[in-house]
A and B are shown apart, each in its own frame.
Chain A
Amino acid sequence: MSIENLKTYDPFAEADEEDSGQTKQTQEYIHIRIQQRNGRKTLTTVQGIPKKFDAKKILKVVKKEFACNGTIIGDEDSKMGDVIQLQGDQRAKIKDFLTNKDEGLGLDAKTIKVHGF
């Protein structure tokens, strides 16, 4: 039997957990954006893929899988790292690819932000 009043309770335990979770989230997002080109053509850009992945290899796989062309844009001056640029609206597909554990990168869906309409 325990006495309720004598229990040690850390009022900040929960808050700490939440905090750490939030900081983890805010540090690095992967942004998936879409841009309109002429007519009904679009571009998809993926920005902020973690450094541990090789952008070139990702591109090679993705191009084959989505049947689209693409390129890597090195953007040193604005600190955005390598940006993968794909032709067409590949937002849903690339998100699936990034989160897929078996055939993709297996990233957490929370770190991915899909922009655009």
Chain B
Amino acid sequence: MDASPADEIKETAQSHSARTPPLHAALGAFTDAPQATEPQDAAAAAAPAADDGLDLSLMKKKKKKVKKEDDADAAADEAAPAEGDGAIDLTMKKKKKKKVVKEDDEFAKKLEALNIEGKEGEEAAPQEDEQEGDMDQGTGIWAHDETKPISYNALLSRFFALLSQKNPDHASTGTRSYKIPPPQCLREGNKKTIFANLPEICKRMKRADEHVTSYLFAELGTSGSVDGSRRLVIKGRFQQKQIENVLRTYIIEYVTCKTCRSPNTELSKGENRLYFITCNSCGSRRSVQAIKTGFSAQVGKRRKMQG
């Protein structure tokens, strides 16, 4: 998370431009029309409603491209948080997102200024209509038998939309979000709390139930037991939010890799009774503190019998 949003944007922009020529070539291959390649495009510019570069200056074209990319980025931003409602979100995504949006705003302002400069006597309207259609339903320009060449930006945005749709894990590697189902807390009687979906959460985090349990008890300063259906019974009244906070600290301390922030790690008992976390994605290894209960005051009426 060290890289500032501005850097990230720059990076993506670079990668886009680097990919430009092959994609264009591919586009040419798909559309068997004569105006497949760029110079021919320019030549065919006179043809009404045919392609991208319709009676626009070179400058205008460039502008449009940038704007579309911007849109795609914004769309990706919007799509990302939608996945994670209700679940615990570890990353500072909100903050980050805000920043990115702000950046976009500045960008948009600049674009606007450019637009005003370059607008003299030109009309941009027909070009916008051209590339319409719903790519999910395959209408408009996305229709199967459509012969019109699809603009690079439209294709690019479709690529990212499909990527995030079909393969959410892959798309979210940049934002690093990690979700676990929210803990379910029930009250048993007046003084006990049942933590129902502990096994599920442990499975998600790839940690032993006992480890998580002992951490919970140490942090909450209580004790408890596991009941018949593997639910955890904690002594004391706890709300879901409180358990959630403790789980969050557990994840930070014992699950996420400090080097690459990936939650894909393994906890193993190394030599000398030390616990080690090995990251499966970057291979780093670090030792973690053993869970210590520390001092706990006596709260009951009498001290538990010793010995």
**Complex interface bits, B227-254 against A, C-beta within 8 A gives 1, otherwise 0:** 0000000001110011101100000000
Q: Is B297 a contact of A36 with CB atoms below 8 Å?
A: no
Chain B residues with CB under 8 A of A40: 237
Nearest-neighbour CB distance to chain B for A71, whole angstroms, equals 9
Q: Is the CB of B219 within 8 A of A117?
A: yes
A-contact bits for B20-56, CB 8 A (1 contact / 0 none): 0000000000000000000000000000000000000
Contact B295 A117 (CB under 8 A): no
Set of chain A residues within 8 Å of B242, measured between Cβ atoms: 117
**A residues 32-47 in Cβ contact with B at 8 Å:** 33-38, 40, 43, 45, 47
5 of the cross-chain contacts (CB-CB < 8 Å) are: A35-B221, A35-B296, A36-B299, A80-B295, A117-B245
Q: How far is the CA of A43 from the CA of B298 in the complex (A)?
A: 10
B241 cross-chain contacts in A, Cβ below 8 A:
117
The verdict on A63 contacting chain B, using a C-beta distance below 8 Å, is: no
A73 closest partner in B (C-beta) = B297
Check A117 against B220 for contact (C-beta < 8 Å): yes
Contact between chains at A35 and B297 (CB < 8 Å): yes
Shortest B298–chain A CB gap in Å is 9
List chain A positions with a Cβ less than 8 A from chain B. 26, 31, 33-38, 40, 43, 45, 47, 73, 75, 78, 80, 83, 85, 115-117
Give the docked Cα–Cα distance between A26 and B194 (Å): 34
- Enumerate chain B residues within 8 angstroms of A31, measured Cβ to Cβ: 294-295
Q: Mostly helix, strand, loop or mixed at chain B's interface?
A: loop
Indicate if the CB atoms of A115 and B219 lie closer than 8 Å: yes
The interface residues of chain A lying within 8 Å CB-to-CB of B172 are none
Q: Shortest distance in angstroms between A33's beta carbon and chain B's nearest beta carbon?
A: 6
- Residue among B220, B237, B297, B299 making CB contact with A116, cutoff 8 Å: B220
Instruction: Give the residue name and chain of the A residue nearest to B236 (CB).
Output: A36
Instruction: Provide the residues of chain A in CB contact with B246, threshold 8 Å.
Output: 116-117
The residue of chain B having its C-beta at the shortest distance from the C-beta of A85 within the complex is B297
Closest A residue to B243 by beta carbon equals A117
* Chain A residue with the shortest CB-CB distance to B241: A117
A-B contacts besides A33-B294, A36-B236, A45-B296, 10 pairs, CB < 8 Å: A35-B299, A36-B222, A37-B299, A43-B297, A47-B294, A47-B295, A73-B297, A80-B295, A115-B219, A115-B221
Q: How far is the CB of B70 from chain A (nearest CB, A)?
A: 38
- For B245, what are the chain A residues with a Cβ–Cβ distance below 8 Å? 117
Q: Chain A: which residue is nearest B242 at the CB level? A: A117
Contact: B299 with A43, CB < 8 Å? Answer: yes
Residue of A nearest to B235 (CB): A36
Contacts of A47 in B (CB 8 A): 294-295
In the complex, the answer to whether A116 meets B219 with C-beta atoms within 8 Å is yes
* CB–CB A33/B238 < 8 A: no
Decide if A33 touches B299 in the complex (CB within 8 Å).
Answer: no
Among the listed B237, B243, B296, which residue makes an inter-chain contact with A33, where contact means beta carbons less than 8 Å apart? Answer: B296
Contacts of B219 in A (CB 8 A): 115-117
Give chain A residues whose Cβ lies under 8 Å from the Cβ of B297.
35, 43, 45, 73, 83, 85
Beta-carbon contact of A34 and B221 below 8 Å: yes
Chain A residues near B295 (CB, 8 Å)?
A: 31, 33, 45, 47, 73, 75, 78, 80, 83
Closest A-chain residue to B244, C-beta based?
A117
A2 to chain B, nearest CB (A): 29
Shortest distance in angstroms between A44's beta carbon and chain B's nearest beta carbon? 10
Which of B269-305 touch A at CB < 8 Å? 289, 294-297, 299
* A35 to B217 alpha-carbon distance, docked (Å): 11
Closest to A47 in B: B295
- Which of B236, B237, B294, B295 has the largest number of chain A CB atoms within 10 A? B295
Write the chain B residue with the least CB distance to A37: B299
B109 CB to nearest chain A CB (Å): 39
In the complex, what residues of A have CB within 8 A of residue B218's CB? 115
> For residue A35, which residues in chain B have a CB less than 8 angstroms away from its CB?
221-222, 296-297, 299
A43-B220 Cα distance, complex, nearest whole Å = 12
Chain B residues closer than 8 Å to A26, beta-carbon distance? 289
